[in-house]
Chain A
Amino acid sequence: MTSRGTPSRFLQSVLQNGVGRYVCQLKRLSIIFSKNAQSSLGVRGFIEEGVVDYAKYNPSTVVYVSPQSCRIPKIVAEYLNGNVREEIVTSKTSIQISEVLTKLTNQSGLDIIRLRKPFHTDNPSIQGQWHPFTNRPPCIGPIRPQKQDTEQGLSNI
C-alpha cells in the first residue's frame, strides 16, 4: 500500500530513554511451544541450551517457558510501553531463535511502521530560527534614552 494508506510515525523514544539512564524496554518474554511437535524442535533445542544463558544475561526481562499443545510455536514479547509482539518461530533452529530474541531485546516497543523522518531533534535551531529581520540593521538606529543623560547610555539592539 502507499505511505498514506499505511500508518506511519515519527522517530521517538519511550520516556526519553537514554537521556537519563538506559532501560531495556523488553518487559517479559513468553516462549510457547509444543513438547512433541516437529515444528518446535528448534525451540526445544534453544530451551535446553540457550534460554538460561539468555535469562542470566538479561536480568531485566522475565522469561516464561510454557509448553502447550500447539501447532505453531511462538515467542510473545511484551514491552514497557504496553505493546505486545508475537514472533512465530516454526521450524527455526536454535541459533535463529536466539537471533530473534536478540532482535526483540534491542527493540523499543514502538510500532514497526514507516518512519516519516530518520531523525528527530528537540532543538531544531541553535542560533535562532531565521526571520526576515535577522542580519538587518535596525531601522531607527541605536536606541537612546529619551532624556539625554551624559552618564547613562543604552546598549545597541
Chain B
Amino acid sequence: MINSLFLINPSGEIFLEKHWKSVVSRSVCDYFLEAKEKALEPEDVPPVIHTPHHYLISIYRDKLFFLSVIQTEVPPLFVIEFLHRVAEMIQDYFGECSETVVKDHMVMVYELLEEMLDNGFPLATESNVLKEMIRPPTILRSVVNTLTGTSNVGDTLLTGQLSTIPWRRAGVRYTNNEAYFDVVEEIDAILDQSGTTVFAEIQGVVEACVKLSGMPDLTLSFMNPRLLDDVSFHPCVRYKLWESERVLSFIPPDGNFTLMTYHVNAQNLVAIPVYVKQSISFFECGSDGRLDVTVGPKQTMGKTVEGVMVTVHLPKTILSINLTATQGSYTYDNGTKVTTLWDIGKLNPQKLPNLRGSLSLQAGAPKPEENPSLNIDLKIQQLAISGLKVNRLDMFGEKYKPFKGVKYITKAGKFQVRT
C-alpha cells in the first residue's frame, strides 16, 4: 500500500518524510517536482504520476503537497482519501494545516503518522481514537508537561479501537451536555451572460458538534426528508433505519464531525439568491476596457444576504485597473492569476452595490477573446435554501437532558457567472 509520505511546500522543499516500509530515497520526488514545474498552477499538477519504479499520488491542499509513494497496485482513491485524512487530522489537532504548524509539531505529526498506518495500511484514522493515543497540544498541557515531565502520549488504555463503535471513545464526561447541528447548504450554479441559470444544484452538509457524556444514542429526523436525493453518511449512521424511516440514528463520535452530506433533488428548482448585472468590454482599438458590475438580491426568502464577494479572473494581459466601488472595497492581485476581489459585505436592497471603472491592457496586447467569469461568494444566515428543516432530536441511552441546537446557513458553493 502506501510506502512513504513526503510533505512538500509550494517552492518544492521537502520538509517532512515518513516511511512505513523500507526507506524510499527522497530523490523520487524529483519526478513530481518536474511535473510541478511544468504546471502553471499548483492545482494543475496531475494527482497520479507514473515513474519507472514508483507511482506518485499527491494531493494539493492548504498550500501544501502531500506526496505518497506507491509501489504496487492500489486503488488511487484509497491513497487520495487517506492523504486528505492526514490533512484533516493535522487541521483537527493543530487548528490549521500549514507548513509552519507541521514544522512546529514535527514530532507529534510524525507520531500521528506512525499510528495512522501500519505497513502502509490504515490502522487508526478516527480522530477520536487518535486523540486517545496522542493528545492534542494545548498551551496548558505543554506547560504542565514541562513542569511534571508527563507527556502527550495517552497512558490510559484506549478502548475506542477495540470497541464495536470505533469512532467514539469511552468514558466521555461533560458537565454541560450539548449537541449542535449546523445545516449548511451550498448553491452550485453557473449563470450565463443574460443571467439565466445554466446549471444549479444544492449540496448540503450536516455538521455536528456533539459533546455528550456516556454513550448517547441519537435520532435526528427531518420535517421533509423527501427533499434529499442523494446522501452520504458518517460511518456511525445506521443505514438501515435511514432506508426504512428516513431518520438519522447514530451513536455520535465525540466532538466535531460531519454527520451527513446530501444533494437536493434536482427537480426542485433552485432559488438563486442574487442576480448580477455585469458588462465587461474591451475596446477593439486602443488598449483598455470597461468593467461595470452590479449585484442585487433576487430570491432571498426575506433574509439578508451577507458576506457577498465577487472575484473576477481577469485576462493576463491586464496591466492595471482603476475601479470605484459604491459599497465595500476591492483588492487587485497581479500575480500568477490576475484577479480582482470585491468584498461587498451585506447586500442592501435599497442601494445596490456597484463596481465600475476602466481596465488598461498591456500595450500592443490583443483584445481578450473571452470576457472573464465572475465567482460569487455569499452567505445567508438562518436559512436552508432547499427548505430542509430538522424536525427533532431524540436521545436514548442516557438519562440527562442535553442542550440541543440547530443552525441553518446557506452559502454559495461554486457559483459562477459567465460574461
Q: Do A and B assemble together?
A: no
A contact residues vs B (CB 8 Å cutoff): none
